[in-house]
Amino acid sequence: MKLYILGNGKPLLRIVHILRNHKIQVLGVEQDKPLKGDDQISLERELYDLKIKRSNYKSISDDIDLIFVINYNKIIDVSLYNKPLINLHLGILPKYRGNNANAWAAINGEKKVGYTIHEIIDELDGGDIYYTFKYDISDDDNYLPAKTAIYSDIESKIATILLDIYNKKLVPMSQKGSHFIYCTRLRPSFGIIKDWNFSTEFFMNMMYVYSPPSGTGLKFFYKGLEYRIEKASRVANFENSIGIPGAIVYIRKGSLWVKTKDNVLSIDKLTSNGSDVEIESVFKIGGLL
């Protein structure tokens, strides 16, 4: 089987190596945009060493069996391609379409994240589904184990999945009639808490997404200083109640209990400017974040 890949960066190079190890030829690649500085030079050098051209699709289309898309952030005009277009979508379809779909799934309280292999059609992320991998989210965890599991599954199965699609061994599942949402790009600024009037579960879900090393950290400002929440937890037996969101209701053994919309969030470890914060010396009960 001979492929043309629309993609970019390290995910593109990783997939190229995997496919070549399974005797799948990659005849050409197309980037959505150049990388910055030395990253682009490194990409071009590695593709050159692999004897893969950054070529125009039309010039080699007759030799292509399938087009594979990974880490490609431009809307694709399917009319420009005369071979099947197959996308690797980091998210579980049919519900979570668009950017950062796994992060938004977690923020919305879903208990599974994963990836989907599907056909590309004019409707963004709306094509027939060939394969879905799902990973169960664990409470009080962060996204790194899920990310590791997702890429491990991709690396072990993607070559077989693409070959089975080409050889018509996989029966696609239509998304017609399915409920869905479109997700937008998640930015670090969304991880700065400005309003505590959300549920405790919402903040725990945000911790899952934003906790390092996968995320940039869930943060808030207090008296002009930025604080990053390194560890947070739910408080057992604390009754749901109405209160002042953002109010510090209790400080206990290095933990800061902050009122949320429905309950409290226990902030168990804080840093500021890279150093640990002694909570009792900075915050007081009754203060407002």
Domains of the chain (ranges, CATH numbers): 2-183 (3.40.50.12230), 188-282 (3.10.25.10)
Q: Mean pLDDT of all residues in the chain?
A: 95
pTM of the model: 0.93
Measure Cα distances from 45 to 2, 38, 120, 162, 175 in Å.
22, 10, 30, 26, 40
Query: pLDDT tens across 20-33, in order?
Result: 999 899 999 999 99
Q: For residue 159, what pLDDT band results from cuts at 50, 70 and 90?
A: very high
Query: pLDDT tens across 106-122, in order?
Result: 999 999 999 999 999 99
Predicted confidence (pLDDT) at residue 3 exceeds the cutoff of 90 = yes
